[in-house]
């Protein structure tokens, strides 16, 4: 067996065997397969695609290429949640405390921002003192003690995925369903939870631009999870416009706290309650999704979810005073309001352009591990369907003075204002696996 033959086989439309896939994955981790051959195979996969059995085998091989977390000492059904990435998506900070308040152990490994989609780890680090670098023993202890812990993904989890993703990113082979699915699920399966909830975003601010693509991916992710022995389900949610009103690290923490207090925007509240309800159902604390949603709503009404958030923050060394005083997270150097140029209604609001505005403000990163401005971002005053007057504020951008003009220009491009009211879209488009 050699890489030349494997590349040739897939180039010509052949189906790779489990042994050939394992050979490829073990070789790139060991460094015995050069980047040019790995890239050639990825390009062959991009054009010739993989069938489901190949995709499942690739996922398992990538899962087994690094450490697999053992969470067996944590009692209960551990439920993980993964979002495919969006603009203003701060749901982890909301639904994890809600699920934990219902008795679901949440042991989550999350990532950082890259491009205009935010990363949960960056957002949590906007809280003074909050630690995301935890030893596995401490991580598990916090879940046992408080029911919830979130840490940065370790370098030893799904090692092959990091190598493959870096190559896909520079060889224009990102947009392949099998490569996307195996990347997501290899990490989720290696993270050790018993059940997995997937939030597949769909729209201008998401990787999947239309519902057909999102549904195809969701069905593949759910099937992989179930075939790997995990209880798995997916929600397809709207990302045509940003989720909530806040886009940017500290801004999103503040909005997450407001939502846990019952004071959050309608869309982020609706989605968070739904996702938390599904986590509660997957974790066996509800007999149906509907019952799970009721339990999730009660956790907000009773204050139990907010209290769980406080325990979560304090457990990881953070300043829980941010719950009542957002200024503890600091303030941006400057701000700039973007005004409406005519009377009318917001007919559309591009999530992608608002995401780019947040990136330009300094809230995101274009290169892995580059620093971010935790207080930068965009705060939306108006969204699709809202009535506006000439000169009224559509949104405010925050960040360093030198970056505000470029960010504001992108915000201006994001808004479309017309004379007619545009009906709002449902935040939840479809469910898979329920």
CB 411 within 8 A of CB 397: yes
Instruction: Calculate the alpha carbon distances from 167 to 179, 180, 392 in Å.
Output: 12, 13, 46
The answer to whether residue 70 is domain-embedded is no
The answer to whether residue 23 is domain-embedded is yes
From the centroid of its chain, how far is CA 336?
Answer: 28
pLDDT tens sequence across 245-299: 999 999 999 999 999 999 999 999 999 999 999 999 999 999 999 999 999 999 9
The reply to whether 347 and 371 lie within a common domain is yes
The answer to whether residue 74 is domain-embedded is no
Strand arrangement, sheet containing 334-339: 246-247, 377-380, 393-399, 334-339
Residue 178 annotated as catalytic: no
Res 387: pLDDT: 96
CATH code of the domain covering residue 237? 3.40.1030.10
Please count the structural domains in the chain. 3
The reply to whether 352 and 205 lie within a common domain is no
The reply to whether 151 and 250 lie within a common domain is yes
Residue 168 annotated as catalytic: yes
Residue 81 annotated as catalytic: no
Q: Measure the CA–CA gap between 96 and 107, rounded to whole angstroms.
A: 9
The reply to whether 149 and 34 lie within a common domain is no
pLDDT band for position 117 (cuts 50, 70, 90): low
The reply to whether 187 and 313 lie within a common domain is yes
The answer to whether residue 59 is domain-embedded is no
Q: Measure the CA–CA gap between 416 and 202, rounded to whole angstroms.
A: 20
Using alpha carbons, select from 271, 213, 216, 231 the residue that is nearest to residue 89: 271
- For 146, what's the count of Cα atoms within 13 Å in the CB-facing half-sphere? 24
Instruction: Calculate the alpha carbon distances from 180 to 173, 216, 310 in Å.
Output: 10, 11, 35
The reply to whether 281 and 246 lie within a common domain is yes
Among 161, 238, 267, 373, the one annotated catalytic: 161
Residue 82 annotated as catalytic: yes
CB 101 within 8 A of CB 305: yes
The answer to whether residue 242 is domain-embedded is yes
Using alpha carbons, select from 278, 298, 316, 265 the residue that is nearest to residue 110: 316
The partner residues of 67 in beta bridges, in order of sequence, read 157
Last residue of a domain, one of 307, 324, 341: 324
The reply to whether 272 and 359 lie within a common domain is no
CATH code of the domain covering residue 345? 3.90.1170.30
Give residue 24's domain range.
3-48
Using alpha carbons, select from 208, 224, 216, 174 the residue that is nearest to residue 42: 174
The answer to whether residue 246 is domain-embedded is yes
Q: Measure the CA–CA gap between 397 and 380, rounded to whole angstroms.
A: 9
Residue 11 has which token pair? Answer: 């180039």
Least confident of 58-62, 273-277, 429-433: 429-433
The reply to whether 349 and 317 lie within a common domain is no
The answer to whether residue 428 is domain-embedded is no
Using alpha carbons, select from 184, 182, 209 the residue that is nearest to residue 198: 184
Among 60, 63, 81, 168, the one annotated catalytic: 168
Res 366: pLDDT: 67
Query: Percent of the chain, pLDDT > 70?
Result: 97
Among 65, 178, 183, 186, the one annotated catalytic: 183
Give 205 or 78, the one with higher predicted confidence: 78
Using alpha carbons, select from 221, 179, 214 the residue that is nearest to residue 197: 221
Give CA angle at 164 (162, 166), nearest 5°.
70
Q: Measure the CA–CA gap between 160 and 408, rounded to whole angstroms.
A: 39
Q: Measure the CA–CA gap between 414 and 14, rounded to whole angstroms.
A: 44
Residue 253 makes CB contacts below 8 A (sequence gap 6+) with 90, 93, 123, 124, 126, 127, 322, 326, 329
Last residue of a domain, one of 296, 324, 352: 324
The reply to whether 313 and 203 lie within a common domain is yes
Among 60, 78, 81, 82, the one annotated catalytic: 82
CB 321 within 8 A of CB 128: no
Q: Is it the case that residue 116 has pLDDT exceeding 60?
A: no
H or E segment at 151?
A: strand 148-152
The reply to whether 43 and 173 lie within a common domain is no
Q: Measure the CA–CA gap between 248 and 355, rounded to whole angstroms.
A: 9
pLDDT tens sequence across 379-409: 999 999 999 999 999 999 999 999 999 999 9
Residue 187 annotated as catalytic: yes
Q: Is it the case that residue 114 has pLDDT exceeding 60?
A: no
Residue 223 has which token pair? Answer: 């099937």
* Average pLDDT for the chain: 94
Q: Measure the CA–CA gap between 380 and 338, rounded to whole angstroms.
A: 10
- For 428, what's the count of Cα atoms within 13 Å in the CB-facing half-sphere? 17
Q: Measure the CA–CA gap between 198 and 378, rounded to whole angstroms.
A: 26
Q: Measure the CA–CA gap between 113 and 166, rounded to whole angstroms.
A: 15
Using alpha carbons, select from 300, 310, 252 the residue that is nearest to residue 277: 300
Q: How far apart are the first and last CA of the chain?
A: 42
CATH code of the domain covering residue 28? 1.20.970.10
Among 63, 112, 146, 187, the one annotated catalytic: 187
The answer to whether residue 135 is domain-embedded is yes
The reply to whether 388 and 252 lie within a common domain is no
- In this structure, the dihedral spanned by the alpha carbons of residues 427, 178, 230 and 22, taken in order and rounded to 10 degrees, is -160
Last residue of a domain, one of 324, 359, 393: 324
Section 319-334 average pLDDT: 97
Res 369: pLDDT: 63
The reply to whether 285 and 348 lie within a common domain is no
Res 55: pLDDT: 98
């Amino acid at each position: 067996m050699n890489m030349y033959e494997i590349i040739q086989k897939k180039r010509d439309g052949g189906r790779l065997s489990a042994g050939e896939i394992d050979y490829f994955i073990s070789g790139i981790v060991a460094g015995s397969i050069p980047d040019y051959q790995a890239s050639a195979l990825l390009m062959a996969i991009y054009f010739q695609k993989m069938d489901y059995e190949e995709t499942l085998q690739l996922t398992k091989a990538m899962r087994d290429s690094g450490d697999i977390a053992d969470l067996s000492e944590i009692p209960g059904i551990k439920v993980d949640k993964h979002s495919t990435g969006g603009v203003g998506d701060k749901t982890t900070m909301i639904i994890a405390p809600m699920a934990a308040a219902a008795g679901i152990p949440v042991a989550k490994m999350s990532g950082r921002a890259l491009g205009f989609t935010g990363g949960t780890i960056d957002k949590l680090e906007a809280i003074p003192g909050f630690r995301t670098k935890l030893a596995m023993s401490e991580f598990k202890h916090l879940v046992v003690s408080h029911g919830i812990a979130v840490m940065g993904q370790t370098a030893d989890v799904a090692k092959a995925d990091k190598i493959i993703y870096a190559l896909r990113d520079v060889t224009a082979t990102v947009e392949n369903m099998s490569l996307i699915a195996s990347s997501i699920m290899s990490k989720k399966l290696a993270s050790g939870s018993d059940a997995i909830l997937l939030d597949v975003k769909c729209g201008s601010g998401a990787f999947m631009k239309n519902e057909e693509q999102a549904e195809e991916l969701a069905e593949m992710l759910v099937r992989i999870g179930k075939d790997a022995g995990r209880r798995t389900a997916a929600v397809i949610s709207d990302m045509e416009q940003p989720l909530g009103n806040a886009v940017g690290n500290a801004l999103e923490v503040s909005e997450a706290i407001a939502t846990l207090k019952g004071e959050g925007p309608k869309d982020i509240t609706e989605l968070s309650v739904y996702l938390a309800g599904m986590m509660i159902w997957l974790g066996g604390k509800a007999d149906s999704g509907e019952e799970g949603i009721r339990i999730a709503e009660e956790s907000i009404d009773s204050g139990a979810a907010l209290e769980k958030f406080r325990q979560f923050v304090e457990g990881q060394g953070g300043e829980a005073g941010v719950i009542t005083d957002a200024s503890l997270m600091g303030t941006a150097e400057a701000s700039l309001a973007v005004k409406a140029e005519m009377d009318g209604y917001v007919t559309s609001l591009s999530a992608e352009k608002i995401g780019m505005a947040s990136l330009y403000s300094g809230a995101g990163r274009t290169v892995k591990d580059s620093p971010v401005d935790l207080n930068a971002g965009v705060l939306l005053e108006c969204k699709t369907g809202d009535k506006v007057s000439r000169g009224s504020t559509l949104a405010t951008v925050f960040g360093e003075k030198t970056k505000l003009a470029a960010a504001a220009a992108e915000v201006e491009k994001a808004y479309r204002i017309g004379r007619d009211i545009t009906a709002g879209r449902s935040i939840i488009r479809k469910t898979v696996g329920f």
